[in-house]
Structure 1
Amino acid sequence: MGRPCDIIIGIDAGTSVIKAVAFDLQGTQLASSAVRNRYQMGDAASGTNRAATQNLAQTWADCASALRGLGDKVEGLAARCVALSVTGQGDGTWLIDAAGEAVGDAWLWLDARAAPTVETLSQSPQNRARFEATGTGLNTCQQGAQMAHMDRHHRDLLDRATTAFHCKDWVFFNLTGLRATDPSEASFTFGDFRTRQYSDTVIEALGLAHRRALLPEIIDGSRRTVPLCPRAALASGLRAGTPVSLGYVDMVMTALGAGVHTGDAGTACSTVGSTGVHMRAVHADQVHLNAAGTGYVICLPAPDLVTQVQTNMAATLNLDWALELAATLLAEFGTQVTHAQMVARIDDWMARTTPAQLVYHPYISKAGERGPFIDAEARASLIGLSSDHGFAELIRAVIEGLGMAARDCYSAMGAMPRELRLTGGAARSNALRGVLAASLNTPVRVSQRAEAGAAGCAMMAAVAIGAYGDMDACIAQWVTPLLGAPEAPDPTLTRRYSQLFDSYTRSRDALAPHWGGLAQLRANTRRTRDVLQKDIPQ
């Protein structure tokens, strides 16, 4: 008797890691394989430190390697695999030519070179109409902004291109040979979230009507699959003809796998990883578009359901920065401390410090902030220090800053959620869960799903091949049973954080006018340094 055909593979091509994960048809994770991703910060050729790029060929090679690695862990994987699906890092611009080859390296979501163009487009009288259609604030991360900037300053890239992909679209193209994108990234970048199609109003607002031919076909991977092509089968070790589903963007796939939509009213989902993603599932006609014109509206693979989203550019990246400060200092005195050892001390540091003593704004990213406000020059700040504050107080302030940032994001979307589903690496921290629950004054439930993004896109493939009648039936099997018990907020901490949030927002608003001046000062310093270096004899 042969082995059953009972495995779906979810591919999650993230910013730092590309994962291939095997699930059975009931949603149980069987095995995973990961390959470390590689990208480049800064651009020596143009002399800008705002660039963030990734090699397309290497990305596909790493994906194929992850799939082969999964085959090494699951006996008979190729014969047992009934479908695979792919999601990936959102935003960014991945250009290919008529032959399917890369037109230079991809511009990632971390790339901030489009900031001047975003500032110009944001002042356009057409920008509000663009926002009303997409539900998405314009920022440097997005393909629309990046292509508009390329059209002004790097026209050769668009002139040589025939298709503009996002990351997952590039992987899907290599898997199937089809040039396509999905309804989620298509509509929040160039379309209308109500129709899930491209919008002339949006494309014209970006000044890209003459580049429309670069936009690929939109397909819904929960309804349509495409056969795995022979070349990809050879590279991955899977069988040619295996159905491939194009998943939605990783943010919404992770939220789907973690429980953003389980039929319970008022629920929300936050992914607190390198970035912070905060979202709630609503019907398309219930979307709250804020006056500031920020956030995202991202379609779910379910009729008329969308997620309203606000995203922090940096979440645990702030904590990584603080821990690295300490580790570097200790290393200078000959003591080596690992990141894992530092993380293991966090709950102890939190236990012996007093809540709500400092204000930390977690804008540590060089690309600034995009949620719930957009400012490429925004930078982190720490307010209220005195001589009796030590490293433990700094760590508490950073973690409380993440709680304040989450509240800031949900405030921009309307009322606080009735319940928060939490995923991402930070969900394992008791201290962080407590801070988030108290910051939002809502119970927190942690998804036990280890690879929520890969699970989300695998669920799309499961529905597409008919293993489940619809997405709700799949959610009932794959998602709901893995939600932990609700963890109620501490009432005393909730009251303190309500006061802290007032200080957080007021001080942020007071600092905002100074970010641009500091950015100019840094730029002047760099130019002076570069001139001096040129004058030094070699």
Structure 2
Amino acid sequence: MRDVLIGIDAGTSVIKSVAFDTAGRQLAAAAVPNRYETLPGGGAEQDLARTWADTATTLRQLADKVPDLAIRTIAIAVTGQGDGTWLIDKKGEPVAKGWLWLDARAAAIVEEIRARPDDRLRFEKTGSGLAACQQGPQLAFMKRNAPDRLADAATAFHCKDWLYFKLTGERATDPSEGTFTFGDFRTRFYCDEVLEVLGVADLRHLLPPIVDGTRHSAGLSAAAAEATGLLSGTPVVLAYVDVACTALGAGLLDRERKPGCSIIGSTGMHMRLAQTPDEVLLNEARTGYTMTMPAPGVFAQMQSNMAATLNIDWILSLASGILASQGITRSNGEMIALVDEWISSSEPASLLYQPYVSEAGERGPFVDANARAGFVGISSRHGYADMVRAVFEGLAFASRDCYAAMG
């Protein structure tokens, strides 16, 4: 009896596979930490082969937890971290390591494009602000600085697209990521005018077909079946980008109440529902994202502050690092358990914290690759607990700032 659905999410921090029954109840989950490296000059890269190997590992681990998983699986869906550039050649082999959304090397190119009047045309087509995390500026940077890499490339993927390719052998991307990067959100297809503004019209051949996972699937390949322990031919769906999937699951698609929805992950995503293209509000600052949802004519409009829990990771690592230097080991869980105590022992708003700890700067509700974190108002009476509280308050203010930018 086929009664299990598998969801794969290759996030920035963790790669996970989850089994659900047909009522949507979680049966089991398996996860491995994700790994990437930061480079001088703002680079952030991830190994494609290792990402696939880690994903396959989570599926095998899931089979250990769910009896007869292979024969019970109805279908598999895969999503993952957004933005970035993952290049493969004609044979399907990686050309180089994947560039992540954390990569800031294209920052100067973003400034050039945003300074031109025709960037308004690009913004009105995509409904999305330009930032160094996106594939368009990253491809433009490679044209100038690594043309040999592009010459060897046949397809430009995002993370989930690469995993879908490894699962099925099919080269594709989804409507959400395809259109907010290179397309027109009204048509859900690529737009030549956008490619011209970005200066990558000559790289149009690298863009894979856009397929809608609500209507399209491909079979699990024999090689992927061997790697994962699942059955060859099992239907595989390329899901929308991770934030669109999370928004759907969190209840954003509520036409009556029209709730807001925030994801406080490595990055912060703050969303409102737009039921028609006319309800998408394009601001003068040309920031945010407009993502097509897996429902006809519906959009999630977003503002995204570049670093959310990255700020929390950083402030907690200060304490754990000091303890480690004295031979005292504390796990992440033990550090997180102390947060409530630190916050309760500190005064509200005694410090201000600017939550721009990512080396990629900020993309919402303003774009500045040079933005950096900082505390304002420190005096001798302040301690570590005040700093912890200020980091959480800073994230709250950043969230409010993003919602204000969407009206």
Tell me the equivalent position of 2:366.
373
Partner amino acid for 1:124? R
Aligned mate of 1:21, from 18, 21, 24: 18
Counterpart of 1:357 in structure 2 is 350
Q: Which one of 7, 31, 47 corresponds to residue 10 of structure 1?
A: 7
Query: Partner of 2:102 in structure 1?
Result: 110
Residue 185 in structure 1 maps to residue 157 in structure 2: no
- The 1-side partners of 2:346 and 2:327 are apart by 28
2:154 paired residue number: 162
For residue 267 of structure 1, what is the aligned residue in structure 2? 259
Verify: 1:296 aligned to 2:289, yes or no: yes
The answer as to 2:154 corresponding to 1:201 is no
Task: Identify which of 22, 35, 38 aligns with 1:41.
Answer: 38
Counterpart secondary structure, 1:180 = coil
Deviations 1:370-396 (A, max 9, x none): 111111110011111222111111111
- SS of the equivalent of 1:267 reads coil
Output the CA distance in 2 between the equivalents of 1:237 and 1:266.
42
Inter-partner Cα distance in structure 1 for 2:332 and 2:55: 27
Instruction: Tell me the distance in 2 between the aligned counterparts of 1:369 and 1:413.
Output: 17
Amino acid corresponding to residue 283 of structure 2 in structure 1? N
- The number of equivalent residue pairs is 406
Q: Distance in 1 between matches of 2:201 and 2:185?
A: 19
Q: SS state of the match for residue 292, structure 1?
A: coil
3-state SS in 1 of match to 2:271: strand
* Match 1:233 to one of 203, 219, 225: 225
Distance of 2:350 and 2:3 partners within structure 1: 54
2:212 aligned partner, one-letter code: D
**Separation in 1, partners of 2:120, 2:182:** 14
Match of 2:382 in 1: 389
8 A contact 1:270–1:278 mirrored in 2: yes
54, 68, 86: which one aligns with 2:60: 68
Post-superposition Cα deviations, 1:1-53, rounded to whole Å, max 9, x if no partner, equal xxx211110000111221111001100000111122221111xxxxx241111
Partner in structure 2 of residue 88 of structure 1? 80
1:41 and 1:49 in contact (8 A); partners too: no
CA distance in 1 between partners of 2:323 and 2:27 (Å): 40
Contact conserved, 1:13 with 1:19, CA < 8 A, in 2? yes
* 1:524 aligned residue: none
Q: Structure 1 334/38 Cα, relative in aligned 2: closer, same or farther at 3 Å? A: closer
* Helix, strand or coil at the partner of 1:311: strand
* Residue aligned with 1:72, SS: helix
Q: What amino acid does structure 2 have at the position aligned with 1:75? A: P
Q: Deviations over 1:277-315 (max 9, x none)?
A: 111121222011110000111110001111011111111
**TM-aligned CA deviation for residue 225 of structure 1:** 1.0
Hey, what does 1:214 align to over in structure 2?
206
- Higher-Rg member (1/2): 1
Q: Is the 2:84–2:134 Cα contact (8 Å) retained in structure 1? A: yes
Contact 2:83 2:158 in 1 (8 A): yes
Please tell me whether residue 50 in structure 1 is matched to residue 42 in structure 2: yes
Instruction: Give the deviation of 1:111 after TM superposition.
Output: 0.8
SS in structure 1 at match of 2:262: strand
Question: Residue 314 of structure 2: which of 313, 318, 321 is its match?
Answer: 321
CA contact (8 A) 2:12 2:266 kept: no
For residues 36 and 328 of structure 1, the distance between their equivalents in structure 2, rounded to whole angstroms, comes to 20
Q: What is the Cα deviation at residue 227 of structure 1? A: 1.2
Q: Distance in 2 between matches of 1:71 and 1:230?
A: 17
TM-score by length of 2: 0.97
Deviations 1:73-126 (A, max 9, x none): 111111110111000110000111111111111111111111111111112222
Tell me if structure 2 keeps the 8 A contact 1:94–1:166: yes
Give the CA deviation at 1:271.
Answer: 0.9
Match status 1:140 vs 2:111: no
Instruction: Give, in whole Å, the separation in 2 of the partners of 1:337 and 1:245.
Output: 40
Q: Structure 2: give runs of 5+ residues left out of the alignment.
A: none
Match of 1:488 in 2: none
Q: 1:331 to 1:57 in 2, by over 3 A?
A: closer
Q: Secondary structure at the match of 2:131?
A: coil
Matches of 1:86 and 1:354, distance apart in 2: 44
**Residues 82-91 or 321-330, more deviating:** 321-330
Gaps of 5+ in 1: 43-47, 415-538
Between Structure 1 and Structure 2, the one with more helix by share is 1
**Aligned residue identity for 1:288:** L
Instruction: Please list the CA deviations of residues 248-270 of structure 1 after superposition, one character each: whole Å capped at 9, or x if unmatched.
Output: 11111112122222334230111
- The aligned amino acid for 1:390 is G
Note if 1:340 corresponds to 2:333.
yes
Equivalent of 1:278 in 270, 274, 277: 270
Q: Distance in 1 between matches of 2:324 and 2:60?
A: 38
Cα displacement (A) at 1:320: 1.7
TM-score, normalization by structure 1: 0.74
